Amino acid sequence: MYSKSTGFQWLPEDHRVHRKWLEGVIEHIDCHPRDLHPVLKEFKELIEGDAGTYLLFCSMFKQISKKKPYSKNLGGHRQPMGTASGFAAFLDPKVNAMFKKVLNAWGEYLCSPASAEVLGTDSQDWFGETGVKDLTATANIGETRYAFEDMFVCDSSAKHHGFSSWDAFFTRLFQEGIRPVAAPDDPGVIANACESLPFNVAHGVKARDKF
């Protein structure tokens, strides 16, 4: 989603919409239980089998502030990472090694044909009516009216618009000349990647610094 006043927004402004969606995902998982991925089983075994890790993961939930807005996050579920135990747990090399395994497994899935199932034309899919509308509105930056296939290299007549996986869709190429780089020879101009916006500009930043 894009607006000239606030820029790009990948979450709805109304937090209740996100909360309802996340609760629906959790409800679906609860109603359709499946075996954990082997990497998640390994992570579970680490947490439950290592005394120090288990203590941190248990205590981080007990340390959450009961005051708003800390009692709930956007999805309606408490955030433990900001606690003292949560901070220690997520700095633990063993925990981070497991997160790397989890992310690598997720990355493999996103490169697989199975990940393209969300690229259909049903109402909840990316090429459904709402998905295409949001994709084109964002890519047009509110200034042009190109169709999706006019902006991106794809085959609109093929299944999933010709994208073999989610990764292929996510890293799709622009059509030639559709998004020229601003002032490519001027080092004073920053072209933000991924249609992002700058958060802050700082000068004289050291190799290790606080900001």
One domain, residues 162 and 141:
yes
* Residue 12 DSSP symbol: -
Q: Which domain holds residue 89?
A: 37-110
Q: How many CB atoms lie within 10 A of CB 80?
A: 20
Residue 205, domain member (yes or no): no
Tokens of 72: 């709930």
Cis peptide before 69 (omega within 30 of 0): yes
**Rounded distance, CA 176 to CA 5, Å?**
29
One domain, residues 56 and 83:
yes
One domain, residues 125 and 100:
no
One domain, residues 146 and 101:
no
pTM: 0.76
Confidence (pLDDT) at 188: 85
Confidence (pLDDT) at 88: 96
One domain, residues 84 and 142:
no
Residue 124, domain member (yes or no): yes
One domain, residues 96 and 125:
no
One domain, residues 65 and 120:
no
Domain count, the chain: 2
Instruction: Report the chain's C-alpha Rg in angstroms.
Output: 21
One domain, residues 102 and 126:
no
Low-confidence ranges of the chain (pLDDT < 50): 1-6, 74-76
Tokens of 183: 């002032």
Residue 48, domain member (yes or no): yes
